[in-house]
Chains A and B, each alone.
Chain A
């Protein structure tokens, strides 16, 4: 129909066309949703999808393996050797020395507080009996980090220097960071076999992109004037890089290293699903899968992972923020106290002493570990007692969420509202009234000028009516393409349509709808809880103070950990998956809401007060609307986080695409894993671009992206 309108010419043409297209789609969509029985042809899932594509990928990989077997073997052998060498070294090093060395480092980098935290954390690892497993994990991280550093840094420099390389790198990075982590574990296992090597390589692939991004950001951020200074000083390209660009970008690069190490750890933990290496991630995975019976063990081992992440995060962050602005005092070498040489000599002495008493300290660790096992049993007992007393409440929470939130979102009110669930029947009369109310409500909203709100109410109402998984495929296609067009541009609308087509052709459409449903449910919960928390944090300093370290920790710990409480309290089902996703994905929405509200221009707030706004009016009429772009960017992050967590949540009961990826990994069916994984990446990319486009239209910038 846009053809008919093009005759009108002028700029209004595009605007009018989009609106008309939207209106027609809405009308057809309503029709299709209301009368599914009369219109079976347009409701049925499209192109039941063949396995042809997945099979082709499998054949390709098989052929590749046959051809490159010697090379693959060599790479695998080298990496395996490196991991095991580092492992032997870490095992041979006495734990008291590592405790003292880490404490010393933390003290040097920041101070007594960090030293106490890090020292305590490492001590816990030693005494809880998970020392060797932790060291195994560390030895994988230790091999993956330098690899990721080299690759990430090299690509970052390339991307910052060459426009052509950047044009290739940007979309690749977007894709790399949205493909679920399990998806590339599968081909890596096929290529390199079981054991630590696929984990190390996956970790490298996963950890390099944030480094690359930060290097590019840092190098691009070098002020133009300094580049000119450099040129006018007659520097060679290398001198400019060495003396001007690198030091200027240093801080950003250190931020990148922090993210890289955390990502690497996170991925090494995730890679435990492939097994073959006795690391701490495996320990948590096995204990978690046993449910509430081994909650104590899962918790104790999970704490080790959290502590590992926290120590690594705080140490690298302390190194990154230590010296931002040098002062004259620094350059004059005004060092207080003992020179560094003596510190190092002291550490060497500690190493010798601890080597002498290695047997004794290992025995100590074993004894203490025995007590930890008692503790774990006690925790299990406590949990059993807790569930015995509060089981009714927990079940009530779970069942209510399932019946009143998850089920309607999945299969629609028409099928979810039954006498034995809701206690009523959703009669045709009620259905008609419901639909009329939704249409009337959105019509009124649109008529009053709140077109976005009206559209949202209509979409939400119809989705609730029919359920995500029963949405007519072409309504989704048309709606998403239209949104992409409106929020981004027509080029991306074509890309989005192609991506959805790819999902369909690989036979993942129904799974994709399911994944979208579960994520939407989680995001809804995140918004309902996270936004108020963000508002509270912006309004009350005390809330902010409590939330900040909590958020820091939630964001730095590997995703696995969120499964432990979910499974312990709610066993393995859809609701546990929802809980795990919400726990992880809620952080950005809280942060961005607080950030957005705190950065409302003070003049606006003064103006509002001068005009006699009550605090509530000020919040609703001034602060929230101004903060809207920031909140949208937070929502965007939450969506991406939810999709990332979805793949992990499959271990506790999520289904859909994530389950397909997992099956692909389990059966070494690379084709299945890759197509399902790419489908998830496509969903993430579409959601990301639409939400960011929307935020930009509202006048937001990515400045809040530094959070």
Chain B
């Protein structure tokens, strides 16, 4: 993503904690200014949903939060949406702190700037597909004709023309989630939150919807937070991934970074199953250099290793890596590539939370 936008994130979470249990919440809320949440809840039987989470998400970025069930990934998403009010910490949307906002202002933000897709689709059973899509428009008081027109447009955006009068119970799972997607996009939100949107679907449908999501994102350039428990889904979709365990973010960065420098064994176990040839790009494995190797073919840094192997002949031993303008930025040889597609080298010291790529 463009470097410029990194300095001006769309969403920033700072020191975000979410505790469940009234005693723990009270202890956290009443703590003295100089005590950490950790100290304050010591001794209470708090269930910790999110533990000191710090995330920056750039405008137009597709950010994936990945973790197993109970890791706190949905909790973080809900804290950003303010469906759960954080126990401590801030959630900034541009320059507004959602965590400090009254419910009435949040309502306004949700009506205009946020859309959310739910794991079990969250379709209202007594509404038709079109009524479901129009619902967020209707509650914010748009005229019935505008609602209908916009809903029809959204329906065709997700490829469900002609099914608008069907009730959710008459649609397949994939179709239901398309309606869910259409509804979340109906208000043309800036921030798009997706909570395991494809987990309840068959593998084939899931892949199809992933492709459509990428196509939609290429057109719409929303700021997306996507929650999943499926690492390969995360790799397929994400600009950047955050891996969570026990409410904590263990590592965040581009897929290639997680692959090459997993923060610990937990992360390396996830990345072990992923095809490194598909994920790693020339830019990830090259030796930085200002001049290319003589006689070596030139390829862009964004080329995946797989594509590189498919397009170059077997006699090629070195490659000049060039940037978008064709200027050489480094070189890659057979040894660089082999080093990187072998098993990951655990290097706990090499990366830590916040090591952004």
Interface, chain A (partner B; CB < 8 A): 225-226, 228-229, 231-236, 239, 243-244, 247-248, 250, 325-328, 331-332
Residues A243 and B135 in contact, CB atoms below 8 Å apart? yes
CB of A320, distance to nearest CB on chain B (Å): 15
Stretch from B25-33, B114-122, B316-324, B330-338 at the A interface: B114-122
Nearest-neighbor residue (CB-CB) of A330 within chain B = B167
Residues A326 and B139 in contact, CB atoms below 8 Å apart? no
Partner of A331, one of B83, B109, B128: B128
CB of B264, distance to nearest CB on chain A (Å): 33
Contacts of A328 in B (CB 8 A): 128, 165-167, 170
Number of interface residues of B (CB under 8 A): 33
CB of A240, distance to nearest CB on chain B (Å): 9
Q: Mark B13-49, 1 if CB is under 8 A from A, else 0.
A: 0000000000000000000000000000000000000
Separation of A392 and B83 alpha carbons in the complex (Å): 74
Q: List 23 A-B contacts (CB under 8 A).
A: A225-B119, A228-B118, A228-B122, A231-B81, A232-B114, A232-B115, A232-B184, A233-B110, A233-B136, A234-B110, A234-B111, A234-B112, A234-B136, A234-B139, A235-B139, A247-B124, A248-B126, A325-B169, A326-B126, A326-B167, A328-B128, A328-B165, A328-B170
Nearest-neighbor residue (CB-CB) of B171 within chain A = A328
Separation of A325 and B128 alpha carbons in the complex (Å): 11
Q: Mark B173-187, 1 if CB is under 8 A from A, else 0.
A: 000000000011000
A-facing residues in B235-280 (Cβ within 8 Å): none
CB of A321, distance to nearest CB on chain B (Å): 15
CB of B140 closer than 8 Å to a CB of A:
yes
A-facing residues in B68-122 (Cβ within 8 Å): 78, 81, 83, 107-112, 114-116, 118-120, 122
CB of B313 closer than 8 Å to a CB of A:
no
CB of A688, distance to nearest CB on chain B (Å): 29
Nearest-neighbor residue (CB-CB) of A227 within chain B = B83
Residues A229 and B122 in contact, CB atoms below 8 Å apart? yes
Contacts of B295 in A (CB 8 A): none
Given contacts A233-B136, A239-B139, contact A228 B124 (CB under 8 A): no
CB of B125 closer than 8 Å to a CB of A:
yes
Lowest 9 A-B CB distances belong to which pairs? A234-B111, A233-B136, A234-B110, A229-B122, A232-B116, A247-B126, A225-B122, A235-B139, A234-B107
Residues B139 and A226 in contact, CB atoms below 8 Å apart? no
Contacts of B109 in A (CB 8 A): 234
Nearest-neighbor residue (CB-CB) of B169 within chain A = A325
Residues B126 and A231 in contact, CB atoms below 8 Å apart? no
CB of A326, distance to nearest CB on chain B (Å): 5
Residues A234 and B108 in contact, CB atoms below 8 Å apart? yes
Contacts of B119 in A (CB 8 A): 225
Contacts of B167 in A (CB 8 A): 325-328, 331
Contacts of A239 in B (CB 8 A): 139
Partner of B83, one of A228, A244, A247: A228
- Counting chain B CB atoms within 10 Å of each CB, the highest count among A234, A239, A332 belongs to A234
Not counting A327-B167, A332-B165, a sample of 18 additional A-B residue pairs whose C-beta atoms are within 8 angstroms of each other reads: A225-B118, A226-B122, A226-B124, A229-B124, A232-B114, A232-B116, A232-B193, A233-B111, A234-B107, A234-B109, A234-B111, A234-B139, A235-B107, A243-B135, A247-B126, A248-B125, A325-B125, A328-B165
Residues B126 and A233 in contact, CB atoms below 8 Å apart? no
Residues A231 and B118 in contact, CB atoms below 8 Å apart? no
Partner of A236, one of B118, B138, B139, B165: B139
Separation of A379 and B322 alpha carbons in the complex (Å): 107
Contacts of B170 in A (CB 8 A): 327-328
Partner of B135, one of A233, A236, A248, A250: A233
Separation of A234 and B106 alpha carbons in the complex (Å): 8
Separation of A27 and B112 alpha carbons in the complex (Å): 74
CB of A167, distance to nearest CB on chain B (Å): 14
Contacts of B107 in A (CB 8 A): 234-236
